[in-house]
């Protein structure tokens, strides 16, 4: 269902003392020099879903801090989301300076952060992902997990619970003489959550691959995605839930000594990596040029956004594209703008140069950003 933000307010968030933005439902572009506050604004939007936001940093960093102040202030981000004819007010923030616990309100009522996903989904691409194919498996896994959450919000909770149980299990194993019953209980949890994780990733991989294939020869290079994990492979091959869960439980039990010696878990879906091949060149993404890598990731992100835009009974994603336009040549930039419009998605785009967004004239709301202040263009 078409889902857009019609109002966004920031209070003491990062570099913004206060900002209130009314939007008509079209996409929004922000142009301004480095340090103007463009990414901070996208990051504020990213707190309208569960999690730690676009920069994946600790909540204590979000509150505005003047030079000399030791702690970030209490901060808030609120928004009005329109989905079809329905409007919902969402609010989030921390109530105390230096606060690390995020509170959420939905239509004024306190709610667990997970409820945000009932109203807003997001897909984003940031400069931090420019090196995605060159960096650690963990970064790629998190990238893929975020795409998975956008379609299946419970995945976030499963990953979190799994990682917590795995840390606990390793602590027990390296403690010397672990409490056996406790260990078995943790491994049962890991097997259940891990199976849910692997199955959600496998579903996403299958759907995303099909979407990428039907996109065909768009100006963005096609990618072949695969997940390296045994658990995802079994799930893709159609393994039943109970079967996968039993296998994972057995592998964990058998791996205790090795894991204790290594000080980390050597088997399980927390070890999965995402592998991406540039189809046209039949070459691993890591071996492609920086520009090609960016275009590959963009194609993956757009394919997921396109799928979710069509999904019935759930909010269409909001796209956050930080410094993406500058990496694209004129033809690809035009194709990106056309696709965002054709999908009916609301995108928030940033760039240092207004000229980048000329192709959006009349199709988006543009703002010049300077010193964390916005001035409408046109």
Ligand X SMILES: Nc1ncnc2c1ncn2[C@@H]1O[C@H](COP(=O)(O)OP(=O)(O)O)[C@@H](O)[C@H]1O
Which residues here bind Mg ion, judged by CB under 5 A? 38-39
Task: Name the minimum Å distance from CB 46 to ligand X.
Answer: 12
Distances (CA, A) of 3 to 52, 85, 319, 326, 342: 22, 10, 11, 26, 14
**Which of these, 263, 68, 283, lies nearest to 174 by C-alpha position?**
263
When CB distances are held under 5 to 8 angstroms depending on the partner's kind, the choice from ligand X, Mg ion, none that residue 64 binds is ligand X
When CB distances are held under 5 to 8 angstroms depending on the partner's kind, the choice from ligand X, Mg ion, none that residue 332 binds is none
Binding marks (x or -) toward ligand X, 114..153, rule CB under 6 A?
A: ----------------------------------------
Q: Are strands 3-13 and 16-22 parallel, antiparallel or unpaired?
A: antiparallel
Unique residue bearing structure tokens 């069509």: 310
SS3 264: coil
Task: Name the minimum Å distance from CB 66 to Mg ion.
Answer: 20
**Residue 314 region by backbone torsions, left for phi larger than 0, else alpha for psi between -120 and 50, else beta:** beta
Bridge partners, 16 (sequence order): 13
Task: Name the minimum Å distance from CB 336 to ligand X.
Answer: 19
Q: What angle do CA 362, 350, 115 make, to 5 degrees?
A: 95
Count residues binding ligand X (CB under 6 A).
15
- Length in residues, the chain: 378
The correct pick among 50, 53, 72, 221 for binding ligand X (CB under 6 A) is 72
When CB distances are held under 5 to 8 angstroms depending on the partner's kind, the choice from ligand X, Mg ion, none that residue 34 binds is ligand X
Of 33 and 154, CB closest to ligand X: 33
The one segment of 33-41, 113-121, 152-160, 247-255 that binds ligand X by CB under 6 A: 33-41
Rounded to the nearest 10 degrees, the angle between the axes of helix 290-310 and helix 137-151 is 20
Does 40 bind ligand X (CB under 6 A)? Our answer is: yes
Task: Name the minimum Å distance from CB 32 to Mg ion.
Answer: 9
Does 46 bind ligand X (CB under 6 A)? Our answer is: no
The correct pick among 3, 39, 195, 204 for binding ligand X (CB under 6 A) is 39
Cβ-Cβ contacts under 8 Å for 272 (sequence gap 6 or more)? 137, 141, 198, 201, 227, 228, 229, 231, 232
Neighbours of 154 (CB within 10 A): 12
The correct pick among 8, 19, 37, 200 for binding ligand X (CB under 6 A) is 37
Does 34 bind ligand X (CB under 6 A)? Our answer is: yes
Contacts with ligand X by CB under 6 A lie at 14-15, 32, 34-40, 61, 63-65, 72
């Amino acid at each position: 269902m078409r889902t857009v933000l019609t109002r966004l307010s920031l209070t003491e968030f990062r570099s913004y003392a206060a900002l209130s933005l009314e939007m008509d439902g079209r996409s929004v572009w922000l142009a301004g020099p480095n340090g103007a506050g463009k990414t901070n604004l996208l990051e504020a939007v990213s707190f309208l879903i569960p999690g730690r936001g676009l920069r994946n940093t600790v909540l204590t960093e979000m509150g505005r801090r003047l030079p000399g102040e030791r702690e970030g202030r209490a901060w808030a981000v609120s928004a009005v989301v329109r989905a079809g004819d329905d409007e919902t007010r969402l609010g989030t923030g921390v109530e105390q300076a230096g606060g690390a616990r995020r509170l959420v309100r939905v239509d004024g009522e306190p709610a667990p952060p997970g409820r945000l996903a009932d109203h807003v989904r997001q897909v984003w691409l940031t400069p931090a992902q420019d090196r995605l194919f060159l960096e650690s498996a963990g970064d790629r896994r998190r990238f893929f997990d975020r795409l998975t959450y956008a379609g299946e919000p419970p995945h976030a909770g499963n990953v979190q619970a799994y990682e917590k149980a795995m840390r606990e299990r390793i602590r027990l194993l390296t403690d010397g003489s672990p409490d056996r019953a406790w260990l078995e209980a943790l491994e049962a949890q890991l097997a259940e959550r891990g199976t849910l994780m692997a199955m959600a990733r496998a579903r996403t991989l299958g759907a995303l691959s099909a979407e990428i294939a039907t996109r065909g020869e768009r100006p963005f290079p096609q990618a072949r995605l695969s997940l390296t994990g045994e658990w995802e492979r079994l799930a893709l091959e159609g393994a039943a839930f109970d079967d996968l869960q039993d296998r994972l439980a057995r592998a964990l039990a058998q791996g205790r000594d090795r894991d204790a010696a290594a000080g980390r878990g050597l088997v399980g879906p927390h070890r999965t990596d995402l592998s991406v091949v540039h189809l046209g060149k039949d070459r691993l993404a890591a071996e492609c040029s920086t520009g090609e890598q960016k275009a590959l990731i963009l194609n993956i992100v757009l394919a997921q956004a396109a799928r979710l835009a069509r999904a019935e009974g759930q909010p269409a994603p909001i796209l956050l594209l930080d410094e993406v336009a500058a990496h694209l040549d004129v033809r690809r930039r035009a194709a990106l703008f056309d696709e965002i419009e054709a999908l009916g998605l609301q995108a928030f785009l940033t760039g240092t140069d207004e000229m980048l967004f000329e192709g959006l004239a009349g199709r988006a709301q543009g703002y010049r950003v300077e010193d964390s202040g916005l001035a409408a263009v046109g």
